[in-house]
Structures are given as C-alpha cells and as structure tokens.
Amino acid sequence: MKKNLLFVFLVLGLAACQQNQESQVIDQEDQDAGKGDSITGVVILNNLGFATEVDNEKQEIKKWGNALRLMDVVEYLGDAGELTWNNRKAPYVQIRLKSGEEGYANKNYIILNAQAAVVITDRSTFYVQPDLASPESRYLVKGDLLAVLYEGAANNFVKVAYANPVNSVLVTNRYLKADSISTTSEDVNSMVMYFLATRASNKVTREELLKNAMEFNSNFFSPLIQTELQITLANFNQEVLVKENQFQIIFNDTVAYNMPFETATVIQIFNTGDKVVAKRKLEKQNEVWYEIVEPACFIKAANLEPFSQPSP
C-alpha cells in the first residue's frame, strides 16, 4: 500500500554539518522521474556534502548546506568540474533538490539516470558482465541500498552502483540479478529509515525512525524492522563496528537467536571452532550480544572469542 507520508523530520547528529536535516520520503514519482525529460540522480552515500556557495574563479567551495541523505533523488543541472575543499580536489555536479535549493555534490556519489533500490535476497553477488559466467567474490546482503541504472539491463541482470557506507568505497559498472533487488517505494523507504535508525545515537530518534519504517509495511523488511524496534525498546547500548570482526565459537551447542534475548527464536546451534562475522555490539548492564552477519542472528558475547587468520 503506497503511503502518503511526504516528509519525515529527523533529528540526527550529522557528522558533516551538525545540523537538523529534513528528509524526504521517496515516492513512486521519484522512482520514475528519470524516465522523463529531466535528468535525475540518486545519492548513494549518506551524509554526502552539499555545497551551496562556490568561488567560480578559484573553483573552491565556500559554504556547505545540509548534507544529503542516502537514496535522496536530485535533479542534475550539469557538471561543475573539479572543486577544491581543504586543498583536496574532487569532481562535482550541480544539482537541484526537491525543495528547489541548488548546489553542488561529489559526482562520484550521484548516480545519474538511475533509481533507488534495495537488496531483497540474503546475498546478491556482483557480476562483471550481465551473465552467470562472470561472478565476483564481492556481494551485497539483504537490506543494502544502491542505485539501479535505467540502461544496461540484460539477461535478467541490472546494472548497478553502490557505495560502502563504512569506507565510502565505490562499486560501479557491475551487475546484479534482477530478482535480487526491489525498486518499490515501500521497500526502499523502509530500509532508508532502518539504515538511519541503526546509526542514530539518540534512542528517541531511533525509535521514531523505526516506527516510520514500519509504516511502509514492506513485505520483505517488516520482520527485520520489528526486531530492531524491540531491541531499541529494550534499551541496549549499541555500537556499530567500524569493520566487521571475525570471531570463533568457544563452546559446543552455542545458541544463536533471531533477537538478543534468550527467549527469542533459535536460528542455529554452533559448535566449538565455528567462525562467524559480527557487525554490531549490543550491551545492557552485564549483558553483551553480537549481531552476526551470516546467518543473520545474535550470539551472546560470552560464547565468542576474537579470531584472526594465522600469518602465512
């Protein structure tokens, strides 16, 4: 069911500008906008800098506005060449926001002639060409947000662009299986809100974002969002790990749950020596859990010890 919610006001501590940001919800018109006469672009990096004033003679950025949000849809006005900020040059494009404000953003993270998308399968492998003969070792997981280009689709593959939210590394000119992604506004919006919620330091903000995410009633992501909401309401202190950390299981019959509660549903039983990768740490009083990447589950920290590959 398509929602009529147009604006969600978020109180986020933005690293780029430390200001409040008005976030616009993507609707289906946004998703189809690039098929018309104007050229639109999709923002694939959260908190992307938005320059509002430039010294054209020196090609230097003079003033920043509110940062752009992951999956924002913007109108492309033209290339701006290389601009300098803090003695660092980067290619920029001139864009117009839905609010009508014009400015400049890093060209690498504005994907033109594309629409917002989200991965809906547990794993979606990158391919060099639109065929099964060219897989890479890299892949995305369920809930990852990316841009799908309008052109380049072939053989049930779509051409995509993705920016790693941890290190900003770009993946471009690669393909994913078409049935591994969704471009519906319900699915994309639910995961945008979820993404922002899991990175919000303020509990009230996080709870509000998750409730907004639930409003979109995504068939794929509602259970995931509901889990996160319960974690938030349980008052866990959360730490998103800077990099995914590998652990090994200490004890036989270690139980992994679908939520960080021993009353939750059992996902899998692990044994001594099994290896897992954690992406988040949850702590409340003397209770510590790790969120595991694959399979998606939670394991008590007492059952884990850090693991590193031996040197060759």
Q: DSSP characters for 202-221?
A: -HHHHHHHHHHHHHT--TTT
pLDDT, the chain, mean: 87
Percent of the chain topping pLDDT 90: 71
CA–CA dist 292, 278 (Å, integer): 4
Concatenate the DSSP letters of all residues of 287-312 into one string: EEEEEETTTTEEEEGGGEEE--PPP-
In CATH terms, the fold of domain 237-312 is SH3 type barrels. (2.30.30)
Q: Which of 31-45, 101-115, 120-134, 146-160 has the lowest mean pLDDT?
A: 31-45
3-state DSSP percent of the chain in helix, strand and coil, to 5 = 20, 45, 35
Cβ pair 45, 16 in contact under 8 A: no
Cβ pair 181, 117 in contact under 8 A: yes
Residue ranges per structural domain of the chain: 7-111, 115-182, 237-312
Residue 258: exposed, middle, or buried by beta-carbon count in 10 A (0-12, 13-18, 19+)?
middle
pLDDT confidence band for 291 (50 / 70 / 90): very high
Token pair in block for residue 192: 């945008």
| Mean pLDDT computed over 82-104 | 96
Cβ pair 172, 159 in contact under 8 A: no
- Same CATH topology for 7-111 and 237-312: the answer is yes
Whole-number pLDDT of residue 24 = 54
In CATH terms, the fold of domain 115-182 is SH3 type barrels. (2.30.30)
CA–CA dist 72, 115 (Å, integer): 10
Whole-number pLDDT of residue 302 = 95
Token pair in block for residue 86: 């803090």
The pTM (predicted TM-score) of the whole model is 0.78
Beta bridge partners of 181: 119
In CATH terms, the fold of domain 7-111 is SH3 type barrels. (2.30.30)
Whole-number pLDDT of residue 119 = 97
